[in-house]
Chains A and B, each alone.
Chain A
């Protein structure tokens, strides 16, 4: 049932415990949010799952297999891909090339095959181009393949980053604040899009989010972190009425909107 399981995951930077004995289960095909104040350890946890940091204690299992100690590129091959809080595209590559880089792990052609333009290589490139175009259409960027990624407007860059992540054919997609910097209309579009991803493609979504409207609107499960610890977990309705969360996260006397 659970696609991702963290058991007692702990990550320290010097004396600072960024992720502290964290237990987390992400159900398959669910939309799961991680929330918490700045510095609560959300992004650090993402980095631990994707292999950029190594947890000092505890386990992280993806589909029952430990990912601790694997390199980021190996973890991507297993089916875990992430996006970044501050968009990190390949700015001087075209939109199309950005997507094709995402497909890298699924292409097999080697050095000599490429130089000699072997039939297998050519076939693979054509198929990759088709798949990339399909993805561009899916993220609503059709026809913009030849633009440089850095020249895209902000919302398009967000969607391109997700498109590039989709190209790796993930089973679990980690989205780090996908609606940061978006206006209400764009935010609504992104929420629909995330739901669409899960419903149409069956991808499990784990997201970090600050906008309560998004968190409460699309999540099935919400985990609240504070100082690296899990302080609450449950459905949006439960979290909304949890007094500890309201106090620690939303502030004393606040009501969730």
Chain B
């Protein structure tokens, strides 16, 4: 076989997959729905961006996977991928023009075909599509061939453009809150999408900022490295202060709706940090984690709500009980599954999660827990006369909770217990052979995770003012697991990033809620294939050998060359 033929083949293969994806997202109505939203006013819609991204990504992959060093081969392969993807979509349009696909696929509407053919006739429309496919392929190929700095610059600029366009509905009201900043609105945004001038300026601005950082960044870092330790500390400290200040004023900057989103993200960060100890550190795959969230919530409801009328404690008196019950149930549910590993553990804990929910729903516990009607009138949290009612106020409570839990996670990570958990994750038998007591170590992991989850549940209950059994279904457990998988197992910043990406973004894009699970699935598959370690993986720690003796350093250099394997 000629190598040239092989080249084209690989590009076409990737193109076929991309074309299939493009047809799929058209058929399920995603393209049409997303076409309501303009990125650039009266110019480019989100639907078009989506299709273009699929094609560009495929072409980029084709260029990347082309064997051999010749740039022309890569370009040709990328173009082949783009053209093939467009051809598949073109064939679909052709079919749609001659058959009534709508009988089977309800989303294959005339409007969709009008969008896909750029409102042209069938023939010219498909030709235009093919042209765009090939051109896009070449652009993606060129992008691959460009230097990393150029790639970074263009990538950041395009990303910013899409993000600012998509988030217009959220950002515009936020800007409007700030008198002088409101000018930005008029200038950046039209009624629907970015204005052309705003888009150009944004692209150029973000692009040049990224470019500048790429050039000056290393020098700045080197300069920082040359500073005296004391000054380094000052700089670092002021950096942290800046972050702290930002966190403190964030809800005021962002306004009501975004603060609400932030509180939901915060609750997931709390949950994620807890599950991170169980799954990320100790490697115990727990799918019933929502149970402890429910226990925290219901303990608060039971102890504080006047509707039930058993106790009317304040939140702060009830909170220790909520956490205590969480921990207690963590241990109780941990005991039966001590000997289970992997899949079996996952299935058993999945059962526990459901048991708790069904118990709460049961008639037997109805007088206590309210059954399907739930419990209402849970009082707001108050410190003295200050009441935490609005999302902007509750944000601070959740922030405090996240800080405490994050700090505890961080301390545990580099301790005797953290190491025991991680040893357990790596090899349970050997961990035991090194003197680690499996029973107490596992139960401690379950208990700690459950305690964090109960804390999150407690805040959740007062935030809503009521609790219902259906808030605690198995999807919550799955979501939290996804958060830590996407963020990076065992990584604290990863959990935060994962919660923002998987919980925050879908809240912001509510109108696309229909496709939420689909996107979730796609993201998970993509993550497993492209970046299995997560968005922000746990770094290899560098700490012990800071105080490395010079003698040891010599031994290191002396011993490395003679070790042949």
A168 & B435 in contact (Cβ 8 Å cutoff): yes
Q: From A57-65, A148-156, A223-231, A245-253, give the one contacting chain B.
A: A148-156
Name the one of A76, A109, A148, A154 contacting B434, with C-beta atoms under 8 angstroms: A76
Cross-interface CB contact of A133 among B411, B417, B544, cutoff 8 Å: B544
Chain-B contact segment, one of A2-10, A137-145, A192-200, A203-211? A137-145
- With A97-B422, A111-B444 known as contacts, the answer to whether A90 contacts B427 (CB < 8 A) is yes
The proximity string for B residues 429-457 relative to A, scoring 1 for CB distances below 8 Å and 0 otherwise, is 11111111110000010001000000000
Q: Which of A81, A84, A97, A105 contacts B419 (CB 8 A)?
A: A97
With A115-B412, A153-B565 known as contacts, the answer to whether A143 contacts B553 (CB < 8 A) is: yes
Q: Counting CB contacts under 8 A, is B552 at the interface?
A: yes
Q: Does B555 contact A (CB under 8 A)?
A: yes
Contacts of B543 in A (CB 8 A): 146
Q: How far is the CA of A157 from the CA of B563 in the complex (A)?
A: 12
Q: A114 near B435 (CB under 8 angstroms)? A: no
Could you say which residues of chain B place their CB within 8 Å of the CB of A92? 422, 426
Docked Cα-Cα span, A115 to B444, in Å, equals 14
B408 interface residue, CB < 8 Å from A? Answer: yes
A84 to B411, CA, bound (A): 32
Contact of A76 among B420, B426, B435 (CB under 8 A): B435
**Distance A146 CA – B543 CA, assembled complex (angstroms):** 8
CA A52 – CA B545 in complex, angstroms? Answer: 35
Alpha-carbon separation in the docked complex, A219 to B408 (Å): 50
Chain A hits for B419, CB < 8 A: 93, 97, 100-101, 104
Residues of A within 8 A of B555 (CB): 137, 140, 142-143
Q: Which of A111-129 contact B (CB under 8 A)?
A: 111, 114-115, 117, 121, 124-125, 128-129
* Cβ-defined partner of A104 (8 Å) among B408, B426, B434, B565: B434
**Whole-angstrom distance between the alpha carbons of A72 and B417 in the complex?**
18
For A121, the closest partner residue in chain B by CB is B415
Q: Cβ of A142 and Cβ of B437 under 8 Å apart?
A: no
Query: Is A102 part of the binding interface, using a Cβ–Cβ cutoff of 8 Å?
Result: yes
Residues in A whose Cβ lies below 8 Å from that of B434 = 73, 76, 81, 101-102, 104-105, 164, 168
Inside 8 A of B2's CB, which chain A residues have their CB?
A: none
Q: Judging by beta carbons under 8 Å apart, are B429 and A52 in contact?
A: yes
Interface centre among B422, B431, B541, B545 (most CB of A within 10 A): B545
Does A257 sit within 8 A of B, measured CB to CB? no
Q: Which A-chain residue is minimally distant from B413 (CB atoms)?
A: A114
Does A232 reach chain B (CB closer than 8 Å)?
A: no
Q: Does A96 contact B423, Cβ atoms closer than 8 Å?
A: no
Please judge, given known A-B contacts A104-B420, A109-B415, whether A88 and B430 are in contact too, CB under 8 Å: yes
Residues in B with CB closer than 8 Å to A155 are 563, 565
A126 → B minimal CB distance (Å):
10
With a cutoff of 8 Å between Cβ atoms, the chain A residues found around residue B438 in the complex are 73
CA distance A145 to B543 in the complex (A): 9
A76 to B429, CA, bound (A): 13
**Residue A94 contacts which of B415, B437, B541, B565 (CB distance < 8 angstroms)?**
B541
Contact A104 B416 (CB under 8 A): yes
CB atoms of B552 and A142 under 8 A apart: yes
In chain A, what residue has the closest Cβ to B422? A93
B556 within 8 A of A: yes
Bound state CA distance, A100 and B420, in angstroms?
A: 9
CB proximity to B under 8 Å, residues A59-107: 71-73, 76-77, 81-82, 84, 88-94, 96-97, 100-102, 104-105, 107
Q: A88-B430, A90-B423, A97-B422 are in contact. Are A105 and B415 (CB under 8 A)?
A: no
Query: Contact at A73–B411, with CB atoms within 8 Å?
Result: no
Residues of A within 8 A of B408 (CB): 115
Within the assembled complex, what's the spacing in Å between the Cα atoms of A101 and B416? 8
Chain B, 548-565, CB within 8 A of any chain A CB: 548, 552-553, 555-556, 559, 563-565
Report A14-45 residues with CB < 8 Å from chain B CB: none
Q: Is A221's CB within 8 Å of the partner chain B? A: no
Contact call B411/A117, Cβ cutoff below 8 A:
yes
B430 touches A104 (CB 8 A): no
Beyond A76-B435, A104-B434, A155-B563, whether A91 also contacts B544 by CB under 8 A is no
Contact of B423 among A76, A101, A114, A115 (CB under 8 A): A101
List A contacts of B552 (CB < 8 A): 133, 137, 142-143
**Interface membership of A50, Cβ < 8 A:** yes
Contact between B426 and A146, CB atoms less than 8 A apart: no
In whole Å, how far is B152's beta carbon from the nearest beta carbon of chain A? 28
Chain B: CB-nearest residue to A137: B552
A-contacting residues, B382-437, CB 8 Å = 407-408, 411-412, 415-417, 419-420, 422-423, 426-427, 429-437
- Closest Cβ of chain B to A59, distance in Å, is 21
Expressed in whole angstroms, the Cα–Cα distance for A72 and B429 within the complex equals 9
B195 to chain A, nearest CB (A): 50
With A96-B544, A143-B552, A146-B544 as given contacts, are A115 and B436 in contact (CB-CB < 8 Å)? no
Tell whether, in the assembled complex, residue A93 and residue B556 are in contact, meaning their CB atoms are under 8 Å apart.
no
Contact A140 B559 (CB under 8 A): yes
Quick one: which of A100, A114, A156, A164 contacts B411, CB cutoff 8 A? Answer: A114
What CA separation (Å) do A137 and B551 show in the bound complex?
A: 10
Closest to B404 in A: A115
B429 near A143: Cβ-Cβ < 8 Å: no
Which of A72, A107, A121, A146 meets B432, CB within 8 Å?
A: A72
Cα of A133 to Cα of B543 in the assembled complex, Å: 12
Which residue of chain A has the shortest Cβ distance to B542 in the bound complex?
A: A146
In contact, B416 and A114 (Cβ under 8 angstroms)? yes
Given pairs A92-B422, A93-B426, 5 additional interface contacts (CB within 8 A): A73-B432, A73-B435, A73-B438, A81-B433, A109-B416
Seen from chain A, the residues whose Cβ lies within 8 Å of a Cβ on chain B are 50, 52, 71-73, 76-77, 81-82, 84, 88-94, 96-97, 100-102, 104-105, 107, 109, 111, 114-115, 117, 121, 124-125, 128-129, 132-133, 137, 140, 142-146, 148, 153-156, 164, 168
* 15 CB-based A-B contacts, threshold 8 Å: A71-B432, A72-B432, A73-B432, A76-B433, A88-B430, A90-B431, A100-B416, A101-B419, A101-B420, A111-B444, A115-B412, A133-B552, A146-B544, A153-B563, A156-B563
